[in-house]
Amino acid sequence: MTETLFRADAYARTCDAYVTAINDRGGIVLDRTVLYAAAGGQPGDTGALTWEGGVCRIATTVYDADKTTIVHVPAEGSTLPAAGLPVHVMLDWETRHKYMRVHTALHLLCSLVKWPVTGGQIGAGEGRLDFDIADMAGIDKDTLTSRLAALVAADHPVTTRWITDAELEAAPHLVRTMSVKPPMGSGKVRLVAIGEDGAIDLQPCGGTHVSHTSEIGGLAVTKIESKGKQNRRIRVTLA
């Protein structure tokens, strides 16, 4: 199991760690990391590992089959650090910060479009959510863009807290994303709250977010597409 430092502090850009193993596919396993492992539509982070006399670019970061071990996938042709070696982990912050802005913007979109979410994807400049929308009243690009801008300008705080699996089971309305089940089984689930007490949005999420909505900056709803009978894909782009 890898200690997920990005979960306690999404702004942590570096850490020291030990190489606990090189797996059979050449992936690097560390005891702890600041690199987010791909999950929930958010891509795995890129970055680098450095050590005495060596450097290894990390092309992406993923979970192993056990879902608790994080594997750092080296860029092709990289030199691997040996198991047991202490390394310095560096995150490609500029890309990650864009993921954080887009990811938080999608929570805001979720708060405005009250229909079930059926899928989503986060990129460095844009993201999208798919909704099962039966009634398009009030759902158009310009209306959503101005309502999103108002939520960004209001500078709502984004905070996290943990609840038990049982507490989440007793409050199924918190789960907005039908396609991605919240990460249960460890006994506790992380809730992400936007606004006082989650007044704007409150849902289980393991991703990385900005700490205040103003940090999202300028953004626009650039496309609303039909994907199937009731399914609508709403795309948000950073300015």
| Residue 11 backbone dihedrals phi, psi, to 5 degrees | -95, -5
* 3-state SS string for 89-123: EEECHHHHHHHHHHHHHHHHHHHHCCCCEEEEEEC
Closest CB to Zn ion among 48 and 100?
A: 100
Nearer to Zn ion, 83 or 181 (CB): 181
Minimum CB separation from Zn ion for residue 215, in Å? 14
Q: How far is the CB of 110 from Zn ion (least distance, A)?
A: 9
Residue 43 within binding range of Zn ion, rule CB under 5 A = no
Residue nearest to Zn ion (CB): 205
The smaller minimum CB distance to Zn ion, of residues 144 and 205, is found at 205
Q: Are 174 and 147 in contact (CB under 8 A)?
A: no
What single-letter amino acid sits at 131? F
CB 7 within 8 Å of CB 161: no
Residues 35, 40: Cα–Cα separation, whole Å: 15
Using CB under 5 A as the binding rule, the residues of this chain from 180 to 239 that contact Zn ion are 192, 205, 207
Query: In the bound complex, what is the minimum distance in angstroms from residue 19's beta carbon to Zn ion?
Result: 29
State phi, psi for 60 to the nearest 5 degrees: -165, 170
Residue 48 and residue 55 in contact, taking contact as beta carbons nearer than 8 Å: yes
Helices 93-112 and 141-153 cross at an angle (nearest 10°) of 110
The answer to whether 61 and 71 have CB atoms below 8 angstroms apart is yes
Q: Give 7 or 13: the residue with its C-beta nearer to Zn ion.
A: 7
CB of 31 to Zn ion, least distance (A): 25
Q: Which residues contact 56 (CB under 8 A, 6 or more apart)?
A: 28, 48, 49, 50, 74, 75, 78, 79, 80, 81
Eight-class DSSP state of 189: E
Q: Which is nearer to Zn ion, 40 or 74 (CB)?
A: 40
For the CB of residue 7, give the shortest distance to Zn ion in the complex, in Å.
11
Q: How many residues bind Zn ion (CB under 5 A)?
A: 3
Residue closer to Zn ion by CB (options 148, 205) is 205
User: In the range 132-151, which residues lie near Zn ion by CB under 5 A?
Assistant: none
C-beta of 106: minimal distance to Zn ion in Å? 7
Contacting residues toward Zn ion, per CB under 5 A = 192, 205, 207
